[in-house]
Amino acid sequence: MASAAAERLTSFQAKQTLEAAKAARRKSDNKLALMFGAGAIVLAIVGQLAYFSFGPGSATESAEVTPVENSELVPDVSVAESRVWTGSMNVGEAKLELELDGVNAPQAVANFVSLSKSGFYEGVSCHRLVTDGIYVLQCGDPDGTGAGGPGYNFGPIENAPADDSYITGSLAMARVGGDGSSMGSQFFIVYQDSRIPSDAAGGYTVFGKITSGLDLLEPVISAGVEGGASDGPPALETRLSSIELR
């Protein structure tokens, strides 16, 4: 099993490199297209809204997006091994002990395990803190803008609370509002009980929980959001570092 998982991770990394090159070419082509007509105006509006379009409590369109089949870049669910994983995750100065639920959220856990073991999260920022209404610290965007990811998206939503209640310590996948197939690398830590309403696509995949160390995030939470807002970049810069899973 370990050998097979290693092979999948090696393949994943190679595909990531190829996907990154393709994404760069697509980005260049899109820039040329957006130079003409009203497209430039649309781009400016998107730039203002992108930060808040990905994650819990974000703006969403009312229309439900039809689920799409995952691409071959998405880690296979077998990586989750249909079991509970344990380990630790360094978030800023805090070392958090965690459990991942590979039984009830196998696709999300397979994704998190694969990205963690590939080193994807090393040095990636926690770019969003919400301190009013819902209480989450969102991490995992390599761009730090709130719109980045690993070069692919996946679904479906798994293990979402039926009552929309996300208990303290929950680890859940961020996604675009109304789109259950838009998960990637971004996730959020619920640092205080929160009710996050479902949207047209449903709730948010809970793929694990923090079992100890959550109180060590208090300096980040207490520092609040840049500029004194209730939703935005943490005033105290916070980055992910070592993630160990077993």
- CATH number of residue 159's parent domain: 2.40.100.10
Q: Residue 78: is its pLDDT beyond 90?
A: yes
Q: 127, 96, 136: which is closest to 221 by C-alpha?
A: 136
DSSP-derived secondary structure for 33-46: HTTSTTHHHHHHHH
pLDDT digits (tens, 9 = 90+) for 31-52: 433 333 333 333 333 333 344 4
User: Comparing C-alpha atoms, which of 135, 208, 126, 137 is closest to residue 170?
Assistant: 208
Task: Count Cβ atoms below 10 Å from residue 45 Cβ, excluding itself.
Answer: 9
Kindly report, residue by residue over 161-198, the tens digit of the pLDDT: 999 999 999 999 999 999 999 999 999 999 999 999 99
Q: Measuring CA to CA, which residue among 133, 242, 217, 143 is closest to residue 184?
A: 143
Radius of gyration (Cα) for the chain, nearest Å? Answer: 18
Q: If we measure between CA atoms, which residue out of 210, 54, 59 comes closest to residue 142?
A: 54
**What is the pLDDT, as a whole number, of residue 215?**
97
pLDDT at 53: 59
Mean pLDDT for all residues in the chain: 83
The burial of 109, by beta-carbon neighbours within 10 Å (0-12 exposed, 13-18 middle, 19 or more buried), is given as buried
Cβ neighbours around 47 below 10 Å, total: 11
Q: Contact at 8 Å (CB) between 127 and 141?
A: yes
Q: How far, in Å, are 75, 135, 143, 163 from residue 50 at the CA level?
A: 26, 20, 12, 28
Domain residues for 174?
Answer: 2-245
Query: What pLDDT was estimated at residue 66?
Result: 53
Strands 165-166 and 194-195: antiparallel
Instruction: Give me the number of domains the chain comprises.
Output: 1
121/137 Cα distance (integer angstroms)? 15
Residue pair 223/236 in contact (Cβ under 8 Å)? The answer is: yes
CA angle (155 as vertex; 217, 187 as ends), nearest 5: 10
Mean pLDDT over residues 127-153, rounded? 96
Total Cβ atoms within 10 A of residue 96: 22
Q: What are the Cα distances from residue 155, in Å, to 91, 161, 168, 221, 232?
A: 26, 16, 24, 30, 26
The per-residue pLDDT for 184 is: 98
Cα distance between residue 202 and residue 35, in whole Å: 36
- Max distance between CA atoms of the chain, in angstroms, equals 54
Omega before residue 156 within 30° of 0, cis: yes
- The residue-averaged pLDDT of 213-219 equals 98
Question: CA-to-CA distance for 157 and 108, rounded, in angstroms?
Answer: 9
58 has a pLDDT exceeding 80: no
